[in-house]
Amino acid sequence: MDIALNNEAPHTSVVPSGEGRFVDDYLLYLMARASHAISAEFHATLRRAGIQVPVWRVLASLSGSTTGETVTGLAEACLLQQPTMTKLLDRMVRDGLVKRMPDARDRRVVRIAMTPRGEATVRDLLVSAKAHEAELLSRFPDIGANRLKELLRSMAARPARGRRREAA
Amino acid sequence: MDIALNNEAPHTSVVPSGEGRFVDDYLLYLMARASHAISAEFHATLRRAGIQVPVWRVLASLSGSTTGETVTGLAEACLLQQPTMTKLLDRMVRDGLVKRMPDARDRRVVRIAMTPRGEATVRDLLVSAKAHEAELLSRFPDIGANRLKELLRSMAARPARGRRREAA
DNA sequence: TCATGACACATGAAATTTCATAAGCTAACC
DNA sequence: GGTTAGCTTATGAAATTTCATGTGTCATGA
């Protein structure tokens, strides 16, 4: 049960007053804060490379995809709205990182694929990302990486259950 | 140490092609995705109450604080930039949710405190938030809530920044 | 074949966020 | 005592995001 975690002050105290703020024990906040903090570490690398965070997310989501991704699919993957993704892709096309291609079966669909320039850009970043992840996990030797990842995946899965769609 | 997690498909497949995208096993992405997903559940409640997400974050961060928070402190707590917070507070002051007060010791500092209207607004939301958190944790009975929270707190703690704790 | 509804992406105006910087204070030092 | 550097908040222009909606395509069925 015991794991040797950092035993710093339990709350980093933005608040001097009350000994415990609500948010400092609120799971959603702790998740957002942890995610933000560890992402910020990598964002420094992106900054040095002159790559914006959403651009990196798109490139990372595209990496490995041969057929290309749809706009809506990318939006979901990057946790953005669809119109936001359309405009982000406009910029990335302009910068030569990705290209839009027609879908073979469905003419509504636009498939997004990386250009050689996009691939070259993402290649180095992927190396950095993997290195950072390894370093990060090494900071917490007592947690099982796969176990943690499984938990996160299940958290991201459909909340569903309970009220689905209201009867029309 | 086995835990019975949801055994859904390992990746929700935004990508039909490659059997495993990089991002689907990338810790930073999984954290962001999990955080986004569980937050989205609560955001539905906020939507119903007509409260914007950043407004909720400010109110939640203020709840319990007697002396009030500084603008910069709130910005950090809410994972926003300081100018963003200033403008957000402008709107919240306009809507009567918070007020700006001078700091007793330092005239540079502006202390932000909730108005009665702000307190009333946050009260119900806090109840909902706690209920949601309890329901959420009940979905994962095999993880220790406190253990998970400790892990998240340590992840959010200052990482590198040169060396660790230098006794000052 | 023609409705009809749903889907996928784009677009435009409005709201928000960011970046760089300004203005007001404080603290430290010479 | 008067710089000088640093800290806290505010501001304005530019970039981005969002919301609502438009356009074109697909799918179903009468």
pLDDT at B13: 40
- Kindly state whether residue B117 falls inside one of the protein's structural domains: yes
What is the dihedral sign for C-alpha A9, A15, A17, A23?
negative
- Kindly state whether residue A20 falls inside one of the protein's structural domains: no
Q: How would you write the pLDDT of chain B (168 residues) with one tens digit per residue?
A: 333 333 333 333 444 444 578 999 999 999 999 999 999 999 999 999 999 999 999 999 999 888 899 999 999 999 999 999 999 999 999 999 999 999 999 999 999 999 999 999 999 999 999 999 999 999 988 888 999 999 999 999 866 444 333 332
Weakest mean pLDDT among A7-16, A42-51, A158-167, B62-71: A7-16
- Kindly state whether residue A119 falls inside one of the protein's structural domains: yes
Q: Between the CA of residue B97 and those of A160, B6, B19, B83, B118, what are the distances in Å? A: 33, 40, 49, 19, 4
- Kindly state whether residue A153 falls inside one of the protein's structural domains: no
Q: Above pLDDT 90, what percent of chain A?
A: 73
Q: Above pLDDT 70, what percent of chain A?
A: 82
pLDDT at A159: 62
Q: Model confidence over A90-113: pLDDT tens digits?
A: 999 999 999 999 999 999 999 999
pLDDT at A20: 75
Cα dihedral angle (A121, A123, A124, A127), rounded to 10 degrees? 150
Residues in chain A within 8 Å Cβ distance of B12? 156-157
pLDDT-derived band of residue A19, with 50, 70 and 90 as boundaries?
low
Decide if A64 and B30 are in contact by the 8 Å CB cutoff: no
pLDDT at A57: 97
- Kindly state whether residue B38 falls inside one of the protein's structural domains: no
pLDDT at A69: 94
CATH number, residue A56: 1.10.10.10
Cα angle value B58/B160/B155 (rounded, 5°) = 50
Element (H, E) at A32: helix A27-49
Decide if A31 and B3 are in contact by the 8 Å CB cutoff: no
- Kindly state whether residue B43 falls inside one of the protein's structural domains: no
pLDDT at B83: 98
- Kindly state whether residue B104 falls inside one of the protein's structural domains: yes
- Kindly state whether residue B16 falls inside one of the protein's structural domains: no
Distance (Å, rounded) from C-alpha B132 to C-alpha B116? 25
pLDDT at A144: 86
Is it the case that residue A18 has pLDDT exceeding 50?
A: no
Identify the bridge partners of residue B69 per DSSP, sorted by sequence position.
B112
Distance (Å, rounded) from C-alpha A3 to C-alpha A11? 18
Number of domains in chain A: 1
Tokens of A113: 């694929």
Q: Compute and round to an integer the Cα radius of gyration of chain A.
A: 20
Distance (Å, rounded) from C-alpha B149 to C-alpha A27? 7
Identify the bridge partners of residue A112 per DSSP, sorted by sequence position.
A69, A100
Q: A80 lies in which domain range?
A: 51-138
Decide if A133 and B27 are in contact by the 8 Å CB cutoff: yes
Q: Give one DSSP letter per residue of B77-120, joined into a string.
A: HTT--HHHHHHHHHHHHHTTSEEEEE-SS-TT-EEEEE-HHHHH
Residue in B16, B65, B159 closest to A15 by CB: B65
pLDDT at B166: 34
The pTM score is 0.84
Where on strand C do bases come within 7 A of a protein Cβ?
Answer: 7-12, 16-21, 24-27
